[in-house]
Chains A and B, each alone.
Chain A
Amino acid sequence: MTNPIGDIEKAEVILVTGSNTTENHPVLSSYVKRAVTQKGAKLIVADPRRIPLVDFAHIWLRQNLGTDVAWINGMMHIIIKEGLYDEAYVDSRTVGLDDVKKVVEKYTPDYVERITGIPAQDLAAAARMYAKAGAGSLLYCMGITQHICGTDNVKSLANLAMLCGNVGIEGGGVNPLRGQNNVQGACDMGGLPNVYTGYQKTSDSAVRKRMAEAWGVSSLPDSNGLTVMEMMDAAHAGKLKGLYIIGENPLISDPDLKHVRSSIQHLDFLVVQDIFLTETAEMAHVVLPSASFAEKDGTFTNTERKVQRVRKALEPPGQARDDWKIIADLSGRLGYQMKYQNAQEIMNEIARVTPSYCGINYKRLEHEGIFWPCTGTDHPGTPCLHMDKFTCGLGVFHGIEWVPPAELPDENFPLYMTTGRVLYQYHTGTMTMKSEGLNRMAPESFVELSPGDAGKYGLSDGEIVKVTSRRGTIRARAKISRKASDGTVFIPFHYAEGAANELTNTAVDPVSKIPEYKVCAVRLEKLQGGI
């Protein structure tokens, strides 16, 4: 997030898109709901599903799946045409608006309505509402990024925010909501194929040299690393022979599970380090037991870039160990000694090699976390990014054309399908399914469909249906809900039985390599008899 969570209550207008906030980030959603009910903020929700937050919205834009670039361009078309944009901001802080102007010219409200299904007058009302706000906050989640055009979607939102002068101000910002406790931290720590900690590029020879010195090795690899999906492909092709997985369960979370399963079967050697014997761990050659969050010291970095302490409350069960101790031990066996007494010493090393974490240490984190960038031990941290100027200098506009999703409904697969989470479960269910109460509230997979579609297929609530895509088939119970729109079904991806990712498409965004979980085409069949 460019802005801290607390800023949501300082916004005059909040635009939430591709985020089912109340179910996936419940505590953060309270900020949105309080802003609307107690602080007089206006709320625009753009989401194909009638998510619970819609009940608080002043305007709900129900776009067709995978048409986000079109409605965002449409809003900018209206804002530019009516002269509602922040000219002073655009002039002094950005470049490239002409590029956007040229592209959005043809995205008239009528043209956008034909693509997105959003009524022209609603789009205009939303555009005016967002543009006229003193501070407009933009919140988004995987509904924006999990598309083949995910990067373009994000850039479009950035265009919209910059156009209205909403980046680098209190109560504004472009704010992605991170779905997992430490997904921000895993990225910050260099858990990506092309960067070391703090997003220092592996392709930069000066950085490589510095890191090699800090780590006491003669050189570091300069080749481009592979992403998860590329690793699966490489394993399938026999090029990747060994895989070491820590605390992940790709056999539920990745798209096109059939492909993932056979990729993993191709590996010569698989190590899985986890707290449970997950579906993925079942396939491993060696499984290592690790400590859960309650059993170790360390830090997580949250969605607002705040580094916060994790503290040990319990001893891990049996022989389970901290993940860092396992890695250090293994490293020693491969001839590279990692001598740390505790997690704190590792954080001190992180601070030494990472400019944006440079001022962070456990002593400072004792009472409250610190927002990075934190460039020195006397630096207070940075709750709000891009305040006086963009980190990279001037904000750059990108004119972006809408492209349709990789897979569209056709005769054989006439329905759209999209995926997501439910309140009572979490990701692949490794934790929540072992927490009795949560599992009682949401015990099994389901296919959410509109009353209209239920009528068309002659389905009643709770009936078992078969859902088929080009990649696989699952069975699950029909859940008739006004959340769904006609022609689109929703399936949560938590469950191994009735797994949504048997069906999802592996087509990825060319830049981010994020698969298009949010759109594929399926066929629905009523099943005679039970499962």
Chain B
Amino acid sequence: MESQNSIVIDGGKYSFNAGETVLQVAQRNGIDIPTLCYMKNASPTGACRMCVVEVEGARTLLASCVTPATPGMIVRTDTPQVMKSRRLNLELLLSSGHHNCLVQDLDMDTWTDFQLRSMSADGHKDLCPVYGDCRLQELAIKYQIRGIRFEPAEPGHKIENVNPFIVRDLSRCILCGRCVQACNEVQVNNAISYGYRGARSKIVARGDRPLKESDCVFCGECVQACPVGALVPVRDIEENDPSKGETRLIRTTCSYCGVGCQMYLHVRKGKIVKVTGVEEVGPNYGSLCVKGRFGYNFVNSPKRLTAPLIKEKGNFREASWDEALDLIAQNLNKIKKESGPDSLGFLLSARITNEENYLAQKFARAVIGTNNVDHCARL
């Protein structure tokens, strides 16, 4: 009774666990089904219809993210009908909002008119800020969306950029609902939800107010979840122009509270331009808070100390490392000699690394000879 717990996808037989969806079985076995609205850690909504598949015996195509695997099910992910449906879906999504990137394959005059109209709208003078990093664009290219079947919509919403962290451009929103799930199911901040009905549907914060006047705490989970350019970090608009050079991603650990969120620093030309959460591992699985995600400017602050300073007659002057360290060595030696090692104290730090703390206490104990070592664990 092998079919009890297995299904067939594109001719291959795969076992499944109770409660698994067709999409989950496919993903686990490396079968690519495109998704837009699907989020791993939230309940599936079936909103975008990109993940449709053909199931033998079903009257219509089914969204694989909300279809539970059942014994003996026979699934096809790449039939002409599936492809046709996905392409139609993408065409509709592209025409639903303000998507003026390369995929609008119009004739030259219409294209120019369209672009000029688009770019005359408030705050849209440049290319879409997520150009090249947009799931919708990626899928449109993959499915070779050509020709214009539906008239593209004009920007229907004003850009909201009144808070210091997130720019909301709902004219680019495809109503996939990932942001709503990120906010309500992942971070459980319950700040945004669907508002209005039908064609007027939009994502709203507390009675359709700006985020700043809502319960939003600017964790940015929605920004990381947004597959298009509807939710973008303010700094991306300011300086994330890809033409400015290559971006490197460096994985590290957040330097704020003790949770130790895993994050990627996006670095361009010696500067952090963005921070995103690492989705594969704990403790945060992609989540960050407002400080971790947006509070990194201090690293590049012009107020950073850049040279050793020595105080003379009440004022600091810059010094070389040799001069500063010699002066310190000389004073530590002098105090130790005159008053004993316990007349010196060392405050280590909850901010520096394990390696640095280790070396500092080793220095105090083995080199100076005192146990006067502490840090602000108590404070």
Q: Do A and B come from one complex?
A: yes
Interface residues of A (CB under 8 A from B): 4-6, 22, 24-28, 30, 33-34, 37-38, 56, 145-146, 177-194, 196-197, 202, 211-212, 215, 217, 220-221, 223-229, 231, 234-235, 239-248, 250, 253-254, 268-269, 271, 274-277, 281, 284-290, 292-296, 298-304, 306-315, 317-324, 326-331, 333-336, 338, 343, 346-347, 349-350, 367-369, 423-424, 426, 430-432, 434-438, 440-441, 512-515, 517
Q: Knowing that A308-B262, A335-B367 touch, tell me 4 more A-B residue pairs with CB under 8 angstroms.
A: A181-B256, A290-B352, A313-B265, A431-B255
Candidates A25, A231, A284, A311; contact of B374 at CB < 8 Å: A231
B357 touches A186 (CB 8 A): yes
Q: Does B350 contact A (CB under 8 A)?
A: yes
CB under 8 Å from chain A, chain B span 334-370: 335, 339, 341-370
B376 touches A437 (CB 8 A): no
Q: Does B298 contact A (CB under 8 A)?
A: yes
- Chain B: how many interface residues by the 8 Å CB criterion? 109
Chain B residues in 8 Å Cβ range of A182: 258, 349-354, 357
- CA distance in complex: A271, B346 (Å): 10
A25 touches B291 (CB 8 A): no
Q: How far is the CB of A220 from chain B (nearest CB, A)?
A: 6
13 intermolecular pairs with C-beta atoms under 8 Å apart: A25-B257, A27-B287, A30-B187, A178-B257, A181-B351, A190-B361, A202-B371, A228-B347, A244-B347, A299-B253, A302-B283, A423-B291, A431-B255
Chain B residues in 8 Å Cβ range of A435: 291, 294-298
A242 touches B343 (CB 8 A): yes
A28 touches B283 (CB 8 A): yes
Chain A residues in 8 Å Cβ range of B261: 27
Candidates B163, B270, B283, B348; contact of A315 at CB < 8 Å: B270
B164 touches A440 (CB 8 A): yes
B362 touches A215 (CB 8 A): yes
B356 touches A287 (CB 8 A): no
Q: B267, B303, B308, B354 — which one has the most chain A CB atoms within 10 A of its CB?
A: B354
B310 touches A424 (CB 8 A): no
Candidates B258, B287, B309; contact of A184 at CB < 8 Å: B258
Residues 252-279 of B, flagged 1 when their CB comes within 8 A of A and 0 if not, give 1111111111100101001110000000
B354 touches A299 (CB 8 A): yes
Closest to A274 in B: B305
- CA distance in complex: A209, B89 (Å): 73
Known: A37-B188, A287-B308. A437 touches B294 (CB 8 A): yes
Closest to B296 in A: A435
Closest to B348 in A: A191
A287 touches B283 (CB 8 A): no
Interface residues of B (CB under 8 A from A): 163-165, 185-188, 217-219, 234, 248, 250-262, 265, 267, 270-272, 281-284, 287-292, 294-299, 301, 303-311, 316, 319, 321, 324-329, 331-333, 335, 339, 341-379
Q: A242, A310, A326, A440 — which one has the most chain B CB atoms within 10 A of its CB?
A: A242
A223 touches B342 (CB 8 A): yes
- CA distance in complex: A327, B359 (Å): 7
Chain B residues in 8 Å Cβ range of A298: 352-356
A186 touches B371 (CB 8 A): no
- CA distance in complex: A302, B359 (Å): 19
A304 touches B283 (CB 8 A): yes
Closest to B353 in A: A298
- CA distance in complex: A268, B343 (Å): 10
B260 touches A441 (CB 8 A): no
- CA distance in complex: A165, B80 (Å): 59
B234 touches A437 (CB 8 A): yes
Closest to A202 in B: B371
B379 touches A515 (CB 8 A): yes
B355 touches A350 (CB 8 A): yes
B378 touches A513 (CB 8 A): yes
A343 touches B355 (CB 8 A): yes
Closest 7 CB pairs of A and B: A318-B306, A302-B260, A178-B258, A298-B353, A225-B371, A437-B164, A247-B349
B299 touches A314 (CB 8 A): yes
Candidates A215, A221, A315; contact of B370 at CB < 8 Å: A221
B253 touches A310 (CB 8 A): yes
What is the number of contacts between chain A and chain B, taking CB atoms within 8 Å? 460
A240 touches B350 (CB 8 A): no
Chain B residues in 8 Å Cβ range of A515: 378-379
Candidates A24, A217, A287; contact of B257 at CB < 8 Å: A24
Closest to A431 in B: B298
Chain A residues in 8 Å Cβ range of B288: 27
Chain A residues in 8 Å Cβ range of B357: 182, 185-186, 189-191
Known: A227-B378, A231-B374, A431-B295. A294 touches B252 (CB 8 A): yes
Q: A22, A299, A304, A330 — which one has the most chain B CB atoms within 10 A of its CB?
A: A330
Candidates B248, B294, B356, B379; contact of A438 at CB < 8 Å: B294
- CA distance in complex: A275, B219 (Å): 26
A346 touches B372 (CB 8 A): no
A242 touches B335 (CB 8 A): yes
Candidates A240, A314, A367, A438; contact of B291 at CB < 8 Å: A438
A221 touches B341 (CB 8 A): yes
A180 touches B332 (CB 8 A): no
Chain B residues in 8 Å Cβ range of A250: 347, 376, 379
Known: A241-B339, A247-B351. A331 touches B356 (CB 8 A): no
Closest to B318 in A: A319
Q: How far is the CB of A57 from chain B (nearest CB, A)?
A: 13
- CA distance in complex: A329, B372 (Å): 21
B270 touches A299 (CB 8 A): no
- CA distance in complex: A212, B335 (Å): 23
B365 touches A221 (CB 8 A): yes
B372 touches A225 (CB 8 A): yes
Q: How far is the CB of B29 from chain A (nearest CB, A)?
A: 22
Candidates B252, B352, B358; contact of A313 at CB < 8 Å: B252
A324 touches B355 (CB 8 A): yes
- CA distance in complex: A459, B90 (Å): 58
B259 touches A30 (CB 8 A): no
A180 touches B351 (CB 8 A): yes
Chain B residues in 8 Å Cβ range of A234: 345
A186 touches B306 (CB 8 A): no
A286 touches B164 (CB 8 A): no
Q: How far is the CB of A312 from chain B (nearest CB, A)?
A: 7
- CA distance in complex: A223, B364 (Å): 13
Chain B residues in 8 Å Cβ range of A440: 164
Chain B residues in 8 Å Cβ range of A245: 346-347
- CA distance in complex: A298, B253 (Å): 10
Chain B residues in 8 Å Cβ range of A180: 256-258, 350-351, 376
- CA distance in complex: A240, B257 (Å): 31
Q: How far is the CB of A368 from chain B (nearest CB, A)?
A: 5
A193 touches B258 (CB 8 A): no
B311 touches A285 (CB 8 A): yes
A318 touches B283 (CB 8 A): no
Known: A27-B259, A181-B255, A185-B354. A432 touches B298 (CB 8 A): yes
A248 touches B328 (CB 8 A): no
- CA distance in complex: A438, B290 (Å): 8
Closest to B339 in A: A241
- CA distance in complex: A217, B369 (Å): 10
Candidates B248, B316, B319, B352; contact of A246 at CB < 8 Å: B352
- CA distance in complex: A187, B251 (Å): 25
Chain B residues in 8 Å Cβ range of A334: 329, 332-333, 367-368
B350 touches A181 (CB 8 A): yes
Candidates B164, B219, B319; contact of A26 at CB < 8 Å: B219
A423 touches B347 (CB 8 A): no
Known: A285-B310, A434-B303. A322 touches B356 (CB 8 A): yes
Chain B residues in 8 Å Cβ range of A343: 353, 355
B188 touches A33 (CB 8 A): yes
B253 touches A300 (CB 8 A): yes
Chain B residues in 8 Å Cβ range of A290: 305, 352
Q: How far is the CB of A150 from chain B (nearest CB, A)?
A: 9
Closest to A145 in B: B378
Q: How far is the CB of B270 from chain A (nearest CB, A)?
A: 6
Chain B residues in 8 Å Cβ range of A300: 253, 255, 260, 353-354
Known: A294-B272, A336-B366, A368-B281. A30 touches B354 (CB 8 A): no
